[in-house]
Structure 1
Amino acid sequence: MGDTRYDTDLIITGGGPAGCAAARMAASVGMRSILVEPDRLCRNLYRIPALNNVLGGYTGGPELADAIVAELKSTELCRLELGRYVTELRADDDQVTVTLDTGVSLTAPYAVVATGVGPLQPGDATWITAPAGLTLSALWQADTDDARGRTLLVLGGDRPIGTFLRAHPTTDTRLLVAYPATDEYKTDEIRDDPRVTLLPVDHLTLRGGEGSQLSAEAVGQDGTHRTITADAAFLSLGNAPAAPPGDLTRGPDGYCPPTGQHPRVIVAGDLRSARFQRIMTALGSGSEAALHAYYAARDLPIKG
């Protein structure tokens, strides 16, 4: 393609599976792209030790991430801006302008926004009382030393707990999973694992402890009170959308649904909704977003 009025044909914000898929698909139809990512490509995918929902025979996140990164780095029509983040995204009738933290502005006819999500912290959950400013790591980030022979308190019943258990099939770790009523349906896949103790709670107050131990006071959904002790605490609360500032339409939950966005801004991957946060859906939506821009640039119908 190539239009000297613009810096590129497509600006992609976010270098996870969705953003990488968008860049690869764009190149396959002859579109130049600039992909902006503040960290490394597929950063979170490298932290997922076990996969069970992708094609191609990949059983671990690092293996799949290596394949995606290698393919993207060999894609000549994609220019990578790693270690940079977007401070503002603006869309008007003629173009999208993306400003980087360096102050440089990039222009293109269309932009794909695939910045994904970040983990919720205890302070974000109304059912948890925790010391001010407390931050914890997500459970799937726990390494073997964090897990072996220890009792871990897991805050929330989100599905990465199953990923952790599959990644450590023989570990003697004990997981105490405290979760609110809204997470009940998410615990189905771990309910029968003997390493898991489910703790449905109405409220949890997290405290410090003696030495390496911590404690929490739990009010059960049946009104009973109990003290919980563990060696460490990790998160499985879900995620919060990480959209860049600027011309994006956000829903009440902070996510950016594809419908209702400026015609030149296409949202892909986990940023779209909390309901479809899977690697396969991210790859597919990223590819579809690039094709959307390709057809729109030629005034071809998107549907039909």
Structure 2
Amino acid sequence: MAETPSRTGSPTTLDTDLIIIGGGPAGCSAARMAASVGMRSTLIEPDRLCRNLYRIPALNNVLGGYTNGPGLADSIAAELQSTELCHLELGRRATQLSASDDHVTVTLDTGACLTALYAIVATGVGPLQPRDAPWITAPSSLNLPPLWQADANDAEGRTLLVLGGDRTIGTFLRAHPTTDTRLLVAYPESDDYKTGEIRDDPRVALRPVEHVRLRLADDAATAETMDRSGKRQTITADAVFLSIGNAPTAPSGDVVRDTAGYCLPSAQHPRVIIAGDLRSARFQRIMTALGSGSEAALHAYYAAKELLHARHLHLG
């Protein structure tokens, strides 16, 4: 799969069969699946492989017996590093993706360009801050830590205000089942469906809100909340953490985004395949990321086979 016919009929020489942008579970799974069917790939990741898994202290929904993120991440990274058909470009960022009729081109932050038959975009999402949430009023320069960074010893016996109902709350509670802390979770209507797994934990007090105005002091935090009926209430806590979710981080170029920044797979150029968390906020799970990465690689494989078969018939 080293060449593909160009619009003029002359072959275009490609650097690899498949370019994978993003080295999380979806990207790594795509590279492994591609290798299993004989496709060469180049995987681009600005950090280390599966970097976000190292931040997850407890797992309960992943096959293979893994109970924590670092264990799973180490296993995935070791397997991928021994995969001969996958070339790793770690410490590099994809800054531009261009798709044409017969190939894709990815520009790196070094200025180098790579070409391939297809690209899988699996860059996932990055953390939001209060200024990114229209239902939170806070100083524009304020940066708060996500809940997964909270230290269990520091949380012992304290009340934590958690802004947002994202699933990191459930992860924190499972990772620290004996920590005696109280979580006041203020969350908007869009997070209603995410709170099911934490509703029955006695350490959690759910506060459905329309709006939150946050004030911080050296020794405490105060939030003036308005619930969905218009009733106002003041909440005081020892510290504030975020669980308001993440924002999609697709590269610039020929990637189609919806109004929230997510990339619907069916809306993309035929040579651009979306995998993992970038597809939708509702599919941000490790298992779905692994599955979608494998599916994306098979999509590219079968599409490439059809293209090469057609070319051979034409030349014959």
Same fold, judged at TM 0.5 (above): yes
Match of 1:286 in 2: 293
Q: In structure 1, how many angstroms separate the alpha carbons of the residues matched to 2:151 and 2:14?
A: 45
Q: In structure 2, how many angstroms separate the alpha carbons of the residues matched to 1:225 and 1:297?
A: 59
Match of 2:202 in 1: 194
TM-score normalized by the length of structure 1: 0.94
Q: In structure 1, how many angstroms separate the alpha carbons of the residues matched to 2:127 and 2:142?
A: 13
Equivalent residue of 1:259, what SS?
helix
Equivalent residue of 1:281, what SS?
helix
2:22 counterpart of 1:22: no
Q: In structure 2, how many angstroms separate the alpha carbons of the residues matched to 1:30 and 1:40?
A: 25
Q: In structure 1, how many angstroms separate the alpha carbons of the residues matched to 2:170 and 2:89?
A: 34
Identity of paired residues, percent? 75
Q: Deviations over 1:93-113 (max 9, x none)?
A: 121100000101111111100
Q: Deviations over 1:148-196 (max 9, x none)?
A: 3322110011222111100000001211101123323322221121111
Match of 1:181 in 2: 189
- Is 1:256–1:271's contact at 8 Å kept on the other side of the alignment? yes
Match of 1:126 in 2: 134
Which runs of no fewer than 5 residues in structure 1 stay unpaired? none
| Aligned-pair Cα RMSD in Å | 1.6
Q: In structure 2, how many angstroms separate the alpha carbons of the residues matched to 1:218 and 1:260?
A: 39
The offset of 1:2, in angstroms, is 3.9
Equivalent residue of 2:65, what SS?
coil
Given candidates 232, 254, 270, the residue that maps to 2:277 is 270
Q: Deviations over 1:207-251 (max 9, x none)?
A: 111x23221111222333222222221111122111100001111
2:82 counterpart of 1:66: no
Which runs of no fewer than 5 residues in structure 2 stay unpaired? 4-11, 308-316
The offset of 1:275, in angstroms, is 1.4
- Is 1:48–1:141's contact at 8 Å kept on the other side of the alignment? no
Match of 1:93 in 2: 101
Q: In structure 2, how many angstroms separate the alpha carbons of the residues matched to 1:159 and 1:171?
A: 18
The offset of 1:146, in angstroms, is 4.1
- Is 1:139–1:164's contact at 8 Å kept on the other side of the alignment? yes
Equivalent residue of 1:299, what SS?
helix
Equivalent residue of 1:229, what SS?
strand
Q: In structure 2, how many angstroms separate the alpha carbons of the residues matched to 1:157 and 1:104?
A: 41
Taking a change above 3 Å as real, the CA distance of residues 40 and 212 of structure 1, as seen in their structure-2 partners, is: farther
Matches within 5 A, 1:152-167: 152-167=160-175
Amino acid of the structure 2 residue aligned with 1:154: V
Aligned residues between the structures: 300
Q: In structure 1, how many angstroms separate the alpha carbons of the residues matched to 2:283 and 2:65?
A: 21
Match of 1:6 in 2: 14
Amino acid of the structure 2 residue aligned with 1:245: S
Matches within 5 A, 1:131-150: 131-150=139-158
Match of 2:6 in 1: none
Given candidates 119, 122, 139, the residue that maps to 1:111 is 119
TM-score normalized by the length of structure 2: 0.91
Amino acid of the structure 2 residue aligned with 1:13: I
2:228 counterpart of 1:221: yes
Q: Who wins on radius of gyration, i.e. which is larger?
A: 2
Q: In structure 2, how many angstroms separate the alpha carbons of the residues matched to 1:282 and 1:98?
A: 22
Q: Which moved more, 1:263-272 or 1:118-127?
A: 118-127
Given candidates 233, 245, 262, the residue that maps to 2:240 is 233
Equivalent residue of 2:297, what SS?
helix
